[in-house]
Structure 1
């Protein structure tokens, strides 16, 4: 089993089978990663892998439509397109009911 730490959700942790989809883990375990479509179209599930980026699969073409090379280099991925093979920690920008980022 692998462990996913949802930093933005008060450090909540969840376990999952290796090679699980990050958004599906979040949905199943109430991790809190925001999403709308779940299919790589909207970009809402943009998140940052804070630790364990080496435990994620290769970047998909759908992600490259929403993330720049600088974003990818900084550890950003789209949760709906990311499969996890080992322990990771993930954060994201919280969003309000209107889908817009909540100012800190």
Structure 2
């Protein structure tokens, strides 16, 4: 079974192959920040520290929300990412209020 290591929160969890990264974090309290869970807001942005090759392909929503430059630097949206092998992820301790405002605007615009 693949292991997901949440470097920022200090948790490591064994998961089934093809597990969704955000759902894994929610289920096992990995602490990845999120607002919508559907690729609209971008708040579940994580950086893949190790194991890039053990992830699903980058989705269009990720390119739209993150931009190609961030993806090239190892960033992914946890809600759009599926795990096929061992990975390590981290995320910044950014201003949560700012992320929440961005998320709410994007969610409202999509409705």
Instruction: Work out whether residues 43 and 99 of structure 2, in 8 Å CA contact, stay in contact via their aligned partners in 1.
Output: no
Change in 2 beyond 3 A, CA 1:100/1:39: closer
1:13 counterpart residue number: 12
Instruction: Work out whether residues 34 and 94 of structure 1, in 8 Å CA contact, stay in contact via their aligned partners in 2.
Output: no
Change in 2 beyond 3 A, CA 1:25/1:44: same
The alpha carbon displacement at 1:12 in A equals 1.1
Between structure 1 and structure 2, the one with the greater Rg is 2
The alpha carbon displacement at 1:94 in A equals 2.4
Where do 4+ consecutive residues of structure 1 move more than 2 Å? 94-101
Gaps of at least 5 residues in structure 2 are 101-111
Higher relative helix content = 2
The alpha carbon displacement at 1:28 in A equals 0.6
Instruction: Work out whether residues 34 and 95 of structure 1, in 8 Å CA contact, stay in contact via their aligned partners in 2.
Output: no
Q: Normalising to structure 2: TM-score of the pair?
A: 0.84
2:4 counterpart residue number: 4
Q: Normalising to structure 1: TM-score of the pair?
A: 0.89
Q: RMSD of the TM alignment (CA)?
A: 1.6
